[in-house]
Amino acid sequence: MDLRNRAFTLLLGGATALIATFVGVKVAAEPYIAVRSGLKCSACHVSPSGGGMRNGFGAGYAHTQLTANLLGLDEMNPTELTALTPRLSVGADLRASASARRLEQLDNDFRFERERVTAYAHVSLVPGRVELYLDQKLAPGNTVSRESWALFRPLGGSFYVRAGRFFLPYGWRLEDDTAFIRQATGINFNTSDDGIELGAEPGAWSLNLAVTNGNGGGAEEGNGKQYSLRVERVENRWRVGASANLNDARGPNRRMANIFAGLKTGPIAWLAEFDRVDVAGIAEQYLVLAESNWELAKGHNLKYTFEFSDPDVDRGNDRVVRHSLVWEFIPVPFTQLRLGVRLRDGNEPGPLKDSTLGFLQLHVFL
């Protein structure tokens, strides 16, 4: 057995053993936590549509509710680490991983990588009225501005106007950018866009409407624009929503729509999303995600995800199904480990149609 095969076997076997060990017995920026808590995404994040930097409540929630062992730091206030002044706060995320992939028709692949290193800054210029936010990717590769926006609340309440560069409001904002619903739609943490957004959170509702250039933050190429709409109803144990997106900025018109929902049943939080992507004159695509998150104990989450992708409904040989099983563990404050196995089963021709991936990820956040 060569070194790569041995590394793959050890990593895959370790993942299976550790998951099996804890089946008998959460992390910020994941939608299942919002479903489990009954809160809107804006309750824990600086961005009103979720994702990115955590606000004071979000940092405190991760510390007190998601951590297995507080190491005697029960009374610590995480905002003391992030608030440089009463109006200026900072934060950071680092994700590094080791992964091994087994392919039927190609050599196995084993690698270490920094998936993403990001830094955040939030300035409350006029408390409750005017905010400035920066989200900068530092690594890997060149530094990139993921988000840089100013937000104005003209009435001092939930209604806001946001302008600059931001992530588009659409469906579940999963942290995993490799999910089919994140890749195929092109709306993920690598594709922010420049434009303006209107939003409001009246009662149990959340509404977001954005008009952007439609080129993923690149130079504007014409008069076409991208339009994004997201509506969600949030209750204590369930939520349901829908999104629509039209991009006529370049090339053939691209239309997308989805419905998504979340449900809490005891210790399990469920997520589901169905997407339809239509690229005019080229292909119509269907995507499905179904996910369960079982809180085994404080700081332990067992995630199972089913994904389906049909890249062209008029063809019959390109459908893909993927299953993932992941154990997420926050042993101490600000540190998460994710250990998982992902199985891919595809009908499309080529060496990548069937594969098995094992991975171990370290996530340090503040």
CA distance 38 to 206: 13
* 33 neighbors 45 (Cβ within 8 angstroms): no
Q: In this structure, what token pair is assigned to residue 318? A: 């390109």
DSSP string, 155-170: TSSS-EEEEEEE----
Q: In this structure, what token pair is assigned to residue 226? A: 């991208």
Taking the CA atoms of 270, 241, 135 and 226 in sequence, report the sign of the dihedral they define: positive
Question: Which whole-number Å values give the CA distances from 211 to 196, 219, 230, 276, 347, in the listed order?
Answer: 6, 15, 12, 20, 37
Longest dimension (CA), the chain: 67
Domain count, the chain: 1
Percentage, residues of the chain above pLDDT 70: 88
**Alpha helices, H only, 266-323:** none
Q: What is the mean pLDDT of residues 167-185?
A: 94
| b/e sequence 100-110, b meaning 16+ C-beta within 10 Å | bbbbeeeebeb
Q: How high is the pLDDT of residue 20? A: 35
Q: What is the pLDDT of residues 18-47, one digit of tens each?
A: 333 333 333 345 899 999 999 998 899 999
pLDDT band, residue 283 (cuts 50/70/90): confident
CATH assignment of the domain containing 311: 2.40.160.10
Of 130-139, 144-153, 222-231, 308-317, which range is least confident? 308-317
What values do phi and psi take at 365, rounded to 5? -140, 155
CA distance 366 to 364: 7
pLDDT band, residue 161 (cuts 50/70/90): very high
CA 257 to chain centroid = 18
CA distance 283 to 277: 8
Q: How high is the pLDDT of residue 318? A: 86
User: Which amino acid is residue 341, in one-letter code?
Assistant: V
Q: How high is the pLDDT of residue 315? A: 83
Average pLDDT score, the chain: 88
Q: How high is the pLDDT of residue 74? A: 81
CA distance 26 to 22: 14
pLDDT band, residue 250 (cuts 50/70/90): confident
Q: What is the mean pLDDT of residues 189-194?
A: 92
3-state class of 182 per DSSP? helix
* Element containing residue 242 per DSSP (H, E): strand 238-247
For residue 272, pLDDT beyond 90: yes
* Element containing residue 279 per DSSP (H, E): strand 268-279
Q: What is the mean pLDDT of residues 239-251?
A: 92
User: Taking phi first (over 0 means left), then psi (-120 to 50 degrees means alpha), and beta for anything else, what does residue 250 get?
Assistant: beta
Domain range holding 201? 3-365
Q: How high is the pLDDT of residue 348? A: 64
For residue 7, pLDDT beyond 70: no
